[in-house]
Amino acid sequence: MPKKKPAVVVTRRLPEAVEARMTELFDTRLNPGDRPMSQAALAEAVRAADVLVPTVTDRIGRKVIAAAGSRLKLIASFSTGVDHIDLAAAHARGITVTNTPGVLTEDTADMTMALILAVPRRLIEGERAVRDGKWTGWSPTWMLGHRIWGKRLGIIGMGRIGRAVARRAAGFGISVHYHNRRRVHPDVEAELKATYWESLDQMLAQMDIVSVNCPHTPATYHLLSARRLRLLKPDAYIVNTSRGEVIDEDVLAEMLRTGAIAGAGLDVFEHEPSVNPKLLRLDNVVLMPHMGSATIEGRQAMGEKVIINIRTFADGHKPPDRVLVTEY
Ligand code: DGY
């Protein structure tokens, strides 16, 4: 007798091939309209599901988890970050949480590097000027930015993505510095030619470019607080492809406005999808709509990971990408 297929609720549209495979393997409820589900709809969905597949746009907090029926045993998130899920509440209810680590590392590092180039070199401003008909020809003094080569990059969070950024930065002649909860293995430091700073404050004060690559956890919420942001040099740039919550965005916007720092490249925001209106008015900031992992290959691979996690779990084994509360 074939085992009953697990009832899986998917909260957003996923790549076609992923949805097709999920439909074959599981008793899958898709969201063809792709409208993010309300809290009430999520609570309703978890009542009868065995597995929930949320994305970063769903808030799976205490209330949604409390609404879960006894069947819900797995939250297989289509994401690497898990800050949208109340992990403690899930674990307390005996619900396993999985994510999709590793498969969006290179894409996110590419986005980070793109912002590291775009902001100091004013790429978006230049492009806008051409489209707006404001370009009158080459000029010795117009649209000057800052050189990347020879600059110091301070990476906050030397996990997979931080390391992938470090590798790219080296190719651009940038010297790599980092701050991390734990110092990485000396072999990794040597490979990346990375200098460790135990003190984040001291590192910030010395860097030309700062890249946020750590996850958002209670410990990293506003890690770049007003006090820390004010340690940055006035000609420093800041790039964030991790989570908006790591930076005090209001303070950052004000510092960008007053020239207390030179510029910023942000792919993520504190209150997505709303963007702080103060940021929208500034020229020295490049704003991207959370596109770090937005490649066909990456999203496909994320879907494959979700499927493997569900299948392994349904077969009675520990899924490969279990998220442990202690990690966060
Ligand atoms: C994730 O999966 O955490 C990413 O932020 C999505 O781009």
User: What are the extents of the domains in the chain?
Assistant: 7-103+295-327, 105-287
CA–centroid distance, residue 316 to ligand 1 (Å): 27
Residues in the chain: 328
Supply the pTM of this predicted model: 0.96
185 a catalytic residue: no
Q: Residues 155-164: pLDDT tens digits?
A: 999 999 999 9
Tell me the pLDDT tens digit for each residue of 151-185: 999 999 999 999 999 999 999 999 999 999 999 99
The DSSP bridge partners found for residue 155 are 178, 211
Q: Which fold has domain 105-287?
A: Rossmann fold (3.40.50)
71: pLDDT confidence band, cut at 50, 70 and 90? very high
The contacts of residue 89 (CB under 8 Å, 6+ apart) are 61, 62, 65, 66
Sign of CA dihedral 316, 321, 327, 328: negative
Q: Which two tokens stand for residue 231?
A: 């340690």
**Average pLDDT for the chain:** 97
> For 133-156, how does the pLDDT look when each residue is reduced to its tens digit (9 = 90+)?
999 999 999 999 999 999 999 999
User: Which residues make Cβ contacts (< 8 Å) with residue 180, sequence separation at least 6?
Assistant: 156, 157, 158, 159, 162, 196, 214
Residues 201-211 have pLDDT tens digits of 999 999 999 99
Domain at 7-103+295-327, CATH from 3.30.70.520, 3.40.50.720, 3.40.630.30, 3.40.50.11610 = 3.40.50.720
Nearest atom in ligand 1 to 108's CA = 7
Catalytic residue list contains 243: yes
**Predicted confidence (pLDDT) at residue 263 exceeds the cutoff of 60:** yes
Does 198 participate in catalysis according to the annotation?
Answer: no
14, 55, 80, 103: residue to mutate for ligand 1 pocket, most atoms within 8 A of CB? 80
pLDDT at 191: 97
**Both tokens of residue 56?**
């970063």
| DSSP codes joined into one string, 199-243 | -HHHHHHH-SEEEE-SPP-TTTTTSB-HHHHTTS-TT-EEEE-S-
Ligand 1 centre to CA of 241 (Å) is 9
pLDDT digits (tens, 9 = 90+) for 217-252: 999 999 999 999 999 999 999 999 999 999 999 999
Ligand 1 centroid to residue 145 C-alpha, Å: 30
Give exposure, 274-300, as e/b (b: 16+ Cβ within 10 Å).
ebbeebeeeebbbebebebbebeebbb
What pLDDT, in 10s, does the model give residues 85-134?
999 999 999 999 999 999 999 999 999 999 999 999 999 999 999 999 99
Whether 1 shows a pLDDT value over 50: the answer reads no
Q: Cβ distance 71 to 65 under 8 Å?
A: no
Report the run of H or E that residue 145 belongs to, with start and end: none
Using CB distances shorter than 6 Å, the residues near ligand 1 are 56, 79-81, 104, 290, 292-293
Q: Same fold for the domain at 7-103+295-327 and the one at 105-287?
A: yes
At residue 3, the pLDDT reads 75
